[in-house]
């Protein structure tokens, strides 16, 4: 088993709170992690229909089975159970009483937080990061192979060919999760929408254009996009407006959580194909954004990721709000650093100096080469060392 960065955060949370919930996409390793972290907890999955029916029809009787600590897997299958969990932990508030895992759906985190307010710690587990792969002994040498393969644990652990596995994963997600959450009748239209969304990874979101290309209304596009975000298929970076509110473009930027899934949906089957693909730079940017997101979430931190583009001026791919500073990050897939790669970071520094507000600004460039550099304008970070500087 590959050691997950979230493991010590999870065990610490279970020493402090009666309920800990781990949410994330399907097949990200939630069950494996929780069973490894809590080997002495009783375990039950709410995926089988009989367990689910018992939990929903007789929740008190169901919970009475677990007088000691327990892992309730696939908790999203029985959201009605959450209010009874509140009653159970009020009677026995022992730390680590219940560990919940769930693939995110509309309102799952909100339901958990509302029903178990003050009693639960909510954590997120995404697919494997480059940091975790490196720690697990996997070679991180070819960027295009790394991006094409993605980070789903089953692909990596079993050294599977990613494309057939991702095809099955996509079909299961569309046929099962989307149908359940949205009750979509035209699954072919949603599948087309999913592929069109992949083609916009690393780009600013225009819902009207996306909906028009998919042949659906603006509201439908918004609803479907929410499902993809709730399922951890993609995430959005809101605009960073601090000090620059009047000048900044206010559209969010779209990124896929897993580069391998994005490549599969775009028909990119081989690393050599990705290396020359028109969307190479956008997919690389999404991969870097996802790596930073994983770095933060897997340490129990909030995402706090943004992007910045002025109406007539510079842009910065990623803005990371940290406790005492701002990290401004440019991303370039080229193997050689060119001077103009740093133009956005230079523009930001100049603009912020003129704003009059004291703010500790750190500038970084992540690129597709292998050599770290320290320049006046930025710290240069090779793609395979993206996790080494730290993002807090």
Please give the chain's pLDDT, 392 residues, in tens.
799 999 999 999 999 999 999 999 989 999 999 999 999 999 999 999 999 999 999 999 999 999 889 999 999 888 889 889 999 999 999 999 999 998 866 556 777 777 888 899 999 999 999 999 999 999 889 999 999 999 999 999 999 999 999 999 998 877 677 766 666 667 788 889 999 999 999 999 999 999 999 999 999 899 889 888 988 999 999 998 776 555 567 899 999 999 999 999 999 999 999 999 999 999 999 999 999 999 999 999 999 999 998 877 789 999 999 877 899 999 999 999 999 999 999 988 888 776 655 578 899 999 999 999 999 889 999 999 999 888 98
Burial string for 233-269 (b: 16+ CB within 10 Å, else e) reads: bbbbbebbebebeeebbebbbbbbbbbbbbbbbbebe
pLDDT for position 108: 67
Percent of the chain with pLDDT over 90: 69
CA-nearest of 251, 244, 128, 137 to 200 is: 251
Burial of residue 52, with CB atoms counted within 10 A of its CB: 0-12 exposed, 13-18 middle, 19 or more buried: middle
Q: CATH 3.40.50.300 residue ranges in the chain? A: 7-124
CATH code reported for the domain at 7-124 = 3.40.50.300
pLDDT digits 0-9 by tens, 130-145 = 999 999 999 889 999 9
pLDDT for position 354: 65
Percent of the chain with pLDDT over 70: 93
CA dihedral 86, 92, 97, 99 (to 10 degrees): -10
CA–CA distance, 103 with 73 (Å, rounded to integer): 10
Question: Are the beta carbons of 150 and 260 closer than 8 angstroms?
Answer: yes
């Amino acid at each position: 088993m590959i050691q997950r960065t979230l493991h010590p955060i999870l065990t610490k949370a279970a020493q402090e709170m009666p309920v800990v919930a781990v949410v994330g996409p399907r097949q990200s390793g939630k069950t494996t992690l929780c069973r490894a972290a809590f080997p002495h907890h009783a375990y039950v999955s709410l995926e089988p229909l009989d367990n689910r029916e018992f939990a929903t029809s007789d929740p008190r009787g169901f919970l009475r089975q677990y007088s000691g600590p327990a892992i309730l897997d696939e908790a999203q299958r029985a959201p009605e159970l959450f209010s009874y969990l509140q009653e159970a932990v009020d009677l026995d508030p022992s730390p680590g009483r219940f560990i919940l895992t769930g693939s995110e759906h509309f309102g799952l985190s909100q339901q958990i937080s509302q029903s178990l307010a003050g009693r639960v710690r909510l954590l997120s587990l995404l697919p494997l990061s480059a940091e975790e792969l490196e720690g697990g002994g996997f070679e991180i040498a070819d960027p295009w192979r790394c991006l094409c393969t993605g980070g789903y644990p089953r692909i990596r652990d079993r050294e599977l060919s990613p494309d057939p596995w991702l095809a099955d994963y996509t079909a299961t997600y569309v046929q099962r999760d989307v149908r359940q959450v949205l009750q979509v009748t035209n699954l072919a239209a949603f599948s087309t929408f999913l592929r069109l969304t992949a083609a916009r990874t690393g780009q600013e979101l225009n819902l009207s254009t996306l909906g028009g290309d998919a042949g659906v209304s603006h509201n439908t596009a918004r609803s479907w996009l929410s499902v993809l975000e709730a399922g951890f298929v993609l995430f959005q970076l809101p605009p960073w407006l601090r000090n620059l509110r009047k000048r900044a473009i206010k559209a969010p930027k779209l990124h896929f959580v897993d580069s391998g899934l994005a490549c599969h949906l775009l028909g990119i089957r081989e690393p050599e194909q990705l290396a020359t693909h028109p969307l190479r730079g956008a997919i690389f940017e999404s991969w870097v954004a996802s790596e930073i997101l994983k770095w933060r979430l897997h340490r129990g931190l909030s995402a706090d990721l943004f992007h910045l583009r002025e109406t007539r001026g510079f842009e910065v791919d990623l803005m990371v709000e940290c406790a005492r500073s701002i990290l401004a990050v440019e991303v370039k897939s080229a193997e050689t650093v060119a001077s103009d790669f740093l133009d956005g970071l230079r523009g930001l520094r100049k603009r912020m100096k003129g704003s009059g507000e004291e703010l500790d600004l750190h500038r970084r460039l992540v690129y597709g080469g292998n050599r770290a550099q320290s320049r006046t304008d930025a710290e240069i970070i090779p793609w395979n060392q993206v996790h080494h500087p730290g993002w807090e």
